[in-house]
Chains A and B, each alone.
Chain A
Amino acid sequence: MTGWSQALSGAHGETTGGHPGAASGETQTLTGNRGLQLEEKLIFEQDSPGHCGVDLPVPPHRDARLGGLERQGPIGLPGLSEPQIVRHFTRLSQKNYAIDSGLYPLGSCTMKHNPRLNEKLARLPGFADLHPLQPETTIKGALELVDTLAHWLKTLTGMPAVALSPAAGAHGELCGMMTIRAALTARGDARRRILVPESAHGTNPATAAICGYAIDPIAANARGRVDLAALKQSLGSDVAALMLTNPNTCGLFEDEILEIAAAVHDAGAFFYCDGANFNAIVGRVRPADLGIDALHLNLHKTFSTPHGGGGPGSGPVALAAALAPHAPLPWIVHGANGLGLVEHAEGAAANTIGRLKGFHGQMGMFVRALGYMMSHGADGLRQVAEDAVLNANYLRVRLAAVLSQSYPGACMHEVLFDDRFLKDTGVTTLDFAKALIDEGFHPMTMYFPLVVHGALLIEPTETESKASLDQFADTVNALAARAKSGRAEDFHATPRLTPRRRLDETAAARKPLLRWRPEPARQEATE
């Protein structure tokens, strides 16, 4: 068996549902509600058949031209009024933690403040109410916006081209790797392998596999960076690319990056960079100056577009000149009549890899990101990176005495700890994180990267005040002291104060219940 010893250590051999902590000492209420914590059933359990929260005109009577394919039975959707729906989703929202509520110290997620100006801009009818297939004469401003965003991204990265259609970071990785494979194929030099550091985010090897490559892991050195000697050993005429994250997922800048780039290029391979951690270097370092050939950016990380509970994101890919001809469709080009869309593989776009998504790209996220960039400007963006790195290092020094830092010394925008500080306490990384929840914090990233045991990866971002950082550090230090003082039981039952206690993930996976179903109709007793 492989791959399990590390990632699972949080399981602790127990089910998450194995601690039936009594809600003892808590006031029992008649409704099950607890003050402002309101219980709320599923919409399907609140159905008033025939009811509707939207008033629509009665359709004029027309003979249907549906080819005999009229729907035969009911769909099964519940009917509710607008007040019920508004209350339903308001109550649900109140069960969520969010950036607006508090700090999210999630490493590599860059959970920074989402400016509300950007929401207003994205909703301007001239952007939101624009059909992607409108004639080009009616969308000039949209093309201008996309082109302006492209200019900002090219300037910040130093790269000559940027592909804007990928819908998220993983999609951007796919785009980048596909252009690399296309470029190699075009020069008659198809190669089979991709090198990926052991600390890489799971999307990296998943993406490489989808592109048809075999993945070879590269070990880290004792300083938590790519082992240059090991890399050079693995490079060969069969390697298509190195996929690197910089700063890496341990929060460290790859200080030998120029040598790494040189080695990769000497072997005839391409250098792909996962730009998830761009927040550490934006405005201070240009990836092109590091020898990078392709880099995806996450507009929903560095450039503040909201996470929305799981997307939408946007993952544009900055490309070196060798890869630019293979960029996915559509392209926006400067022509005789100003900006225009190229939607087919012809002319300059003849060697495109093709289309990666319907229509043009995540325009709604482009508007938000450009609003963010223009608000900060060149000076503000540089300050973003500096404050992000400053905040992370401040937490590092405030926590280093009590937690176990995996790689001593300065970090970039995030700092990595491991579970050595919990040794012999009976408290796991998981327990520690759940205790933080009761204190009003979303836990840090846990169990990632896989290169250390019980990882805790902390990224505060630049939008946290010093007071916020101090409160977080004080809390973490106090909890660590509590863990070391033998109070493991306190941790095992956390969280106690959230709308739900620890949930039974084992049961959810053993007997997946992935949708609501109506109760079977009761049998009438018959004589």
Chain B
Amino acid sequence: MPMLRFTKDHEWIRQDGDTAVIGITDYAQQQLGDIVYVELPAVGTMVEAGKEAAVVESAKAASEVYAPVSGEVVAVNDAIAGDPAKVNADPMGEGWFLSVKLADPTALDGLMDEAAYVAFVAEQG
């Protein structure tokens, strides 16, 4: 079962071996409203934990998507670049943003698991 973790900034990350797929959560897409545009990094870019990896925009707001972990971008989801509505429709699946080769395969251990994230969101009110 690939490990699924979450950040306080509402990104999710799903690890499979030494790579991990990153996206934004259902809560995030709800808060954003209709997504109109995504800006994805180039394959090969090095991303740093806590720093901006991508940008997601609705008609009235722009938001940074931070990398939950450090690593090298090995794939980006061109499908959402062409059809940003996929992020709203299926944020945990087809609406994924990018996939990274992990600099540290244990990096996800420090992040919230699903139960902790659900509790965190409930607190947001």
Q: Are A509 and B33 in contact, CB atoms less than 8 angstroms apart?
A: no
> Beyond A1-B66, A3-B61, is A11–B36 a contact (Cβ under 8 Å)?
no
B64 contacts the other chain (CB 8 A):
yes
| B124 (CB) vs chain A CBs: closest residue | A5
**Contact residues in B for A510 (Cβ distance below 8 Å):** 36-37, 84-85
Q: Are A509 and B65 in contact, CB atoms less than 8 angstroms apart?
A: no
B114 contacts the other chain (CB 8 A):
no
A519 contacts the other chain (CB 8 A):
no
A424 contacts the other chain (CB 8 A):
no
CA distance A293 to B65 in the complex (A): 38
> Beyond A1-B24, A1-B28, A1-B56, is A8–B61 a contact (Cβ under 8 Å)?
yes
B14 contacts the other chain (CB 8 A):
no
Q: Are A7 and B60 in contact, CB atoms less than 8 angstroms apart?
A: yes
CA distance A11 to B65 in the complex (A): 19
CA distance A1 to B7 in the complex (A): 9
> Beyond A8-B31, A8-B61, A509-B59, is A2–B36 a contact (Cβ under 8 Å)?
no
Which of A4, A13, A14 contacts B63 (CB under 8 A)?
A4
| A11 (CB) vs chain B CBs: closest residue | B33
Which of B36, B37, B63 contacts A1 (CB under 8 A)?
B63
B111 contacts the other chain (CB 8 A):
no
Q: Report the minimal beta-carbon distance from B12 to chain A, rounded to whole angstroms.
A: 11
> Beyond A11-B32, A15-B34, is A1–B59 a contact (Cβ under 8 Å)?
no
**Contact residues in A for B33 (Cβ distance below 8 Å):** 8, 11-14, 506
**Contact residues in A for B77 (Cβ distance below 8 Å):** none
CA distance A348 to B60 in the complex (A): 47
Q: Are B63 and A2 in contact, CB atoms less than 8 angstroms apart?
A: yes
A508 contacts the other chain (CB 8 A):
yes
Which of A7, A13, A15 contacts B61 (CB under 8 A)?
A7
**Contact residues in B for A10 (Cβ distance below 8 Å):** 60
**Contact residues in A for B18 (Cβ distance below 8 Å):** none
Q: Are B37 and A8 in contact, CB atoms less than 8 angstroms apart?
A: no
List residues of chain A with CB under 8 Å of any chain B CB: 1-5, 7-15, 447, 505-506, 508-510
- Extra contacts, 8 of them, besides A4-B28, A506-B36 (Cβ < 8 A), are A1-B11, A1-B24, A7-B60, A8-B58, A12-B33, A14-B33, A14-B34, A509-B58
List 18 A-B pairs, Cβ < 8 Å.
Answer: A1-B9, A1-B28, A4-B61, A4-B63, A8-B58, A8-B61, A10-B60, A11-B58, A11-B61, A12-B33, A15-B34, A505-B59, A506-B33, A506-B36, A506-B59, A509-B36, A510-B37, A510-B84
